[in-house]
C-alpha cells in the first residue's frame, strides 16, 4: 500500500481560524507557525476519513468497508481494551478508566450551580458536574452500561416530517435496527442467573414481584397465570421444586423485553428485563459494541480499514481554491495519547506529532454531541457571532452548531435494608478484577452464570407520565447505591452494604435550551457545556414527569412486605420530590447539537447527513437528532450509522 499521496501543487498559508494549520495551539501556546507546502503529501489517503469510532462513526466505518470502500478511522483513544472494558459488571470502573475515558465538567445551571451535591470545585477537577465519556476505539460504547432499548416510532417519524424525507419513517428504519442487531446481538441477562438470584435474595425477589404485579401490563400479568395451571405441578414433579419454579419463572421473564413490539410500538408500558450489548465468546459473557465490530471488519479487510488510534483531530483541511471552498480535503491530527483537555492526564511527550490524512470522497465527523460542534466551530463552521468573538473567520454561518443540546433527566431513589445485611448476590463482590475478588474469579470460569455477566440492572418498568404522547419514564432497579455521576462514583456504588437504588430516567425531554460553545480557539481545550436544566422552574413539564416516576417507584417499594424491608435513604420520606429533582438530577445521553433539518438557519445537516453549504462533509453521531430519541440513545445512534452507510453507498455506487 502506498503510504503517501501527492495532494496539490499549490502553496498557501494556513491559519487556525481559516483552515488547518495557522498557529496551532497547545494549552493556549503557539506550537507551530508555518506555511504548508502542498508539494508535501498526506500521510495516508482513503475514500473516506471518519473522525470518531463510537456508535455512529464506528458503525458507519465498518459498513462502508464491507461495501468495498477504503476508510481511515480516527479516534483520540487507544485501540486496546482491558478487563474493566470487557467484564459487563465493571462498566462503572470502565467509565472512569484514565486510559480509556474522558472527564468533562458541565453546567446544569448558570446560577447557584453548587446546589447540586455532585458539583465539583476547581480543586476537584471542575468547576461543574462530572460527565464521563469514552475515549477509545468504540467511543462511549466501550465504557457504557451496554443497555439496548429501541426508540419509539414517533422518534423516526418526527425526523421524516422535519426533513420531508420518507426514508426516515419508522417502518423504513426497522431494517437498520435489524442490521445493527445482526452483529451487535443484544440479549437479555441469563435467565437462569436471574432466577437463581431471586431465590438467593428474598428481598430482591420481593421487589421484582412487586414491579411485575404493579407495573406489568395486561399481557405480562396474563403470562403469570398460564392457561394450563397444572403445568407448574408437572414441572415440580419432573424437576423438583426449585428447578420447577425456575422453569416457570423463565417462561414468564423471557417475554419481558421492551424490544419486542407491543401494541404496534416498542418500549411500551410494562415491566421488563433490559437487554444489553453482551455476547458469549469462549464461554465468557463480554461487552460487545462498536469496537468489537470494527476489529472483526479490520481482520477481514485490513487493506481497506485503517484505524488510527491515539490520534486527536485538531482541524479540518479545506480546498482553498476559489471555486471549491465548500469542499473539505482531509484532517490534521496530533498522534499522541491524552492530549485533549478532558483526558485524565496530559501527554508524556510535549512536542506535537502532527499528521495529515486525506479523503478522496468525504470527511465524516462523528465525535459526539460535545466534540463534533467543537471541531466544526474551530474550522469556521458555526454561529458567526460566536466565531467572531473567538477570533475565527466564519467559513459557513450555521447558527445552530452547538445549540439545541439535549439530554435525559435522571434521579436515583436510594434505599437501605432495615436489617443492614448485604444484598446476597453482590455480598462477596469487590468489583475489582483481582484474585481477591471471588465474583471475578467466577466470571473467569467458562459457562458459569455470575452477577458479573450482567450490567447490574435487575428489573425495570416503563411508564407514561402523561406529559408526552409516548411512555417517557423508564425506571430500573440496581443492587447498589447510585446517586449520579461524580468523580470516583464507581468506587462508591458498593461501599455500604445493604443499599439499593431504583433509578428514574425521563425520556422525550422537552428542554431544547442547552448549548456547547468554545472557551477558546485552542482545539485541545474542552468546550463550555451548559445544559440549562429545567428552564420552566418548578412548573417544568419534565420535572413534573420525573416526580411522577418517583411516586411510582415509591408505590412499588412501599407495597406489601417490601415496605417493611427497606428504608428510604435519599430522598427520605419527608423530602420534597420536586426540589430533589431540581437540585440533583443528572444525565448521560448528550445529543442534538448539530440537528438535522431543511433550513440552514434552524439546522446543521440535511436528511443525508451533509453539513449545509458543504459538498463532502457529513456528521453521523448523536448530535444530528432534532430531538432526543427514546430512552437510551445508543440504539438510535447505531441505526443512523447503518442508514448513513446506505445513503453514502447509494450516492457513490453508480
Instruction: Count the Cβ atoms, other than its own, within 10 Å of residue 444.
Output: 15
Phi, psi at 316, each rounded to 5°: -95, 145
Integer Rg of the chain from CA: 25
Determine the Cα–Cα distance for residues 48 and 72; give it in Å rounded to an integer.
6
553 marked among binding-site residues: no
User: Could you tell me whether strands 515-517 and 354-365 are parallel, antiparallel, or unpaired per DSSP bridges?
Assistant: unpaired
CA angle 479–484–488, rounded 5-degree value = 90
Distances (CA, A) of 292 to 44, 68, 277, 371: 24, 20, 11, 23
204: enclosing H helix or E strand: helix 202-215
405 beta partners: 514
Cell numbers placing 33 = 507557525
SS3 for 50? Answer: strand
Using an 8 Å Cβ cutoff, are 355 and 333 in contact?
yes
Cell numbers placing 502 = 431504583
357 beta partners: 44, 331
CA angle 282–286–292, rounded 5-degree value = 95
Determine the Cα–Cα distance for residues 370 and 52; give it in Å rounded to an integer.
12
Nearest Cα residue to 277 out of 191, 369, 183: 183
Sheet holding 566-570, edge to edge: 270-272, 460-463, 473-478, 499-506, 409-417, 566-570
- Residue 622 contacts by C-beta under 8 Å, 6 or more apart in sequence? 55, 56, 368, 369, 589, 590, 591, 592, 633, 636, 637
3-state secondary structure 96-130: CCCCCEEEEEEECCCCCHHHCCCCECHHHCCCEEE
Cell numbers placing 10 = 499549490
User: Could you tell me whether strands 35-37 and 41-42 are parallel, antiparallel, or unpaired per DSSP bridges?
Assistant: unpaired
Q: Residue 17: CA atoms inside 13 Å, Cβ hemisphere, count?
A: 14
Using an 8 Å Cβ cutoff, are 521 and 492 in contact?
no
Instruction: Count the Cβ atoms, other than its own, within 10 Å of residue 604.
Output: 30
Using an 8 Å Cβ cutoff, are 366 and 52 in contact?
yes
Q: 21-32 as b/e, with b when 16 or more CB fall inside 10 Å?
A: bbebbbeeeeeb
- CA 130, distance to chain mean position in Å, is 15
Determine the Cα–Cα distance for residues 249 and 192; give it in Å rounded to an integer.
9
Nearest Cα residue to 134 out of 186, 94, 74: 94
268: enclosing H helix or E strand: none
- Residue 612 contacts by C-beta under 8 Å, 6 or more apart in sequence? 396, 398, 600, 603, 604, 605, 606
Phi, psi at 462, each rounded to 5°: -115, 140
Annotated binding-site positions: 313
Annotated binding-site positions for FAD: 313
Amino acid at each position: 500500500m502506498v503510504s503517501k499521496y501527492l495532494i496539490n501543487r499549490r502553496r498557501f498559508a494556513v491559519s487556525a481560524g481559516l483552515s488547518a494549520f495557522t498557529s496551532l495551539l497547545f494549552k493556549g501556546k503557539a506550537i507551530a507557525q508555518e506555511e504548508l507546502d502542498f508539494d508535501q503529501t498526506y500521510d495516508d489517503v482513503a475514500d473516506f476519513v471518519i473522525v470518531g469510532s463510537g456508535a455512529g462513526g464506528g458503525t458507519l466505518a465498518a459498513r462502508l468497508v464491507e461495501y468495498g470502500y477504503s476508510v481511515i478511522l480516527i479516534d483520540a483513544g487507544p485501540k486496546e481494551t482491558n478487563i474493566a472494558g470487557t467484564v459487563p459488571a465493571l462498566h462503572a470502573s470502565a467509565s472512569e478508566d484514565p486510559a480509556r475515558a474522558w472527564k468533562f465538567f458541565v453546567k446544569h445551571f448558570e446560577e447557584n450551580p453548587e446546589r447540586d451535591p455532585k458539583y465539583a470545585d476547581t480543586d476537584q477537577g471542575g468547576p461543574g458536574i462530572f460527565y464521563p465519556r469514552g475515549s477509545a476505539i468504540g467511543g462511549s460504547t466501550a465504557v457504557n452500561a451496554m443497555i439496548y432499548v429501541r426508540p419509539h416510532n414517533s422518534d423516526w417519524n418526527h425526523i421524516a416530517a422535519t426533513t420531508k424525507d420518507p426514508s426516515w419513517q419508522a417502518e423504513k428504519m426497522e431494517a437498520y435496527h435489524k442490521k445493527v442487531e445482526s452483529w451487535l446481538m443484544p440479549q437479555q441477562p441469563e435467565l437462569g442467573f436471574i432466577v437463581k438470584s431471586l431465590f438467593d435474595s428474598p428481598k430482591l425477589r420481593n421487589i421484582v414481584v412487586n414491579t411485575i404485579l404493579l407495573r406489568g401490563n395486561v399481557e405480562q400479568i396474563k403470562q403469570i397465570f398460564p392457561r394450563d395451571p397444572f403445568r407448574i405441578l408437572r414441572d415440580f414433579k419432573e424437576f423438583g421444586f426449585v428447578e420447577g419454579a425456575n422453569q416457570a419463572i423463565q417462561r414468564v421473564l423471557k417475554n419481558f423485553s421492551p424490544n419486542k413490539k407491543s401494541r404496534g410500538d416498542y418500549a411500551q408500558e410494562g415491566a421488563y428485563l433490559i437487554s444489553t450489548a453482551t455476547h458469549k465468546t469462549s464461554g465468557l459473557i463480554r461487552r460487545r459494541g462498536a469496537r468489537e465490530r470494527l476489529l472483526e471488519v479490520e481482520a477481514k479487510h485490513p487493506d481497506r480499514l485503517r484505524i488510527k488510534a491515539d490520534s486527536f483531530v485538531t482541524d479540518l483541511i479545506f480546498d482553498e481554491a476559489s471555486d471549491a471552498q465548500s469542499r473539505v480535503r482531509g484532517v490534521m491530527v496530533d498522534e499522541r495519547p491524552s492530549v485533549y483537555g478532558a483526558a485524565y492526564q496530559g501527554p508524556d511527550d510535549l512536542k506535537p506529532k502532527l499528521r495529515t490524512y486525506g479523503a478522496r470522497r468525504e470527511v465524516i465527523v462523528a465525535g459526539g454531541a460535545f466534540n463534533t460542534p467543537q471541531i466544526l466551530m474551530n474550522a469556521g463552521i458555526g454561529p458567526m457571532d460566536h466565531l467572531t468573538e473567538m477570533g475565527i473567520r466564519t467559513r459557513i454561518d450555521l447558527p445552530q452548531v452547538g445549540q439545541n443540546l439535549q439530554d435525559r433527566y435522571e434521579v436515583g431513589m436510594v434505599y437501605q435494608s432495615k436489617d443492614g445485611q448485604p444484598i446476597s448476590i453482590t455480598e462477596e463482590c469487590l468489583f475489582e478484577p483481582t484474585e481477591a475478588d471471588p465474583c471475578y474469579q467466577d466470571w473467569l470460569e467458562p459457562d458459569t452464570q455470575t452477577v458479573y455477566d450482567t450490567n447490574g440492572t435487575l428489573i425495570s418498568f416503563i411508564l407514561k407520565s402523561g406529559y408526552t404522547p409516548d411512555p417517557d419514564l423508564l425506571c430500573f432497579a440496581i443492587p447498589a447505591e447510585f446517586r449520579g455521576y461524580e468523580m470516583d462514583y464507581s468506587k462508591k456504588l458498593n461501599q455500604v452494604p445493604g443499599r439499593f437504588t431504583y433509578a428514574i430516567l425521563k425520556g422525550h425531554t422537552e428542554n431544547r435550551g442547552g448549548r456547547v460553545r468554545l472557551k477558546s480557539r485552542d482545539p485541545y481545550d474542552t468546550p463550555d457545556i451548559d445544559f440549562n436544566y429545567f428552564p420552566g422552574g418548578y412548573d417544568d413539564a419534565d420535572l413534573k414527569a420525573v416526580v411522577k416516576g418517583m411516586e411510582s417507584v415509591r408505590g412499588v417499594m412501599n407495597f406489601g412486605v417490601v415496605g417493611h424491608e427497606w428504608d428510604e435513604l435519599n430522598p427520605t420520606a419527608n423530602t420534597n420530590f420536586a426540589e430533589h429533582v431540581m437540585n440533583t438530577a443528572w444525565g448521560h445521553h448528550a445529543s442534538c447539537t448539530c440537528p438535522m433539518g431543511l433550513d440552514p438557519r434552524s439546522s446543521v445537516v440535511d436528511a443525508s447527513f451533509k453539513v449545509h453549504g458543504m459538498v463532502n462533509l457529513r456528521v453521523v453521531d448523536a448530535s444530528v437528532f432534532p430531538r432526543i430519541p427514546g430512552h437510551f440513545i445508543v440504539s438510535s445512534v447505531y441505526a443512523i450509522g447503518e442508514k448513513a452507510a446506505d445513503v453514502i453507498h447509494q450516492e457513490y455506487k453508480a
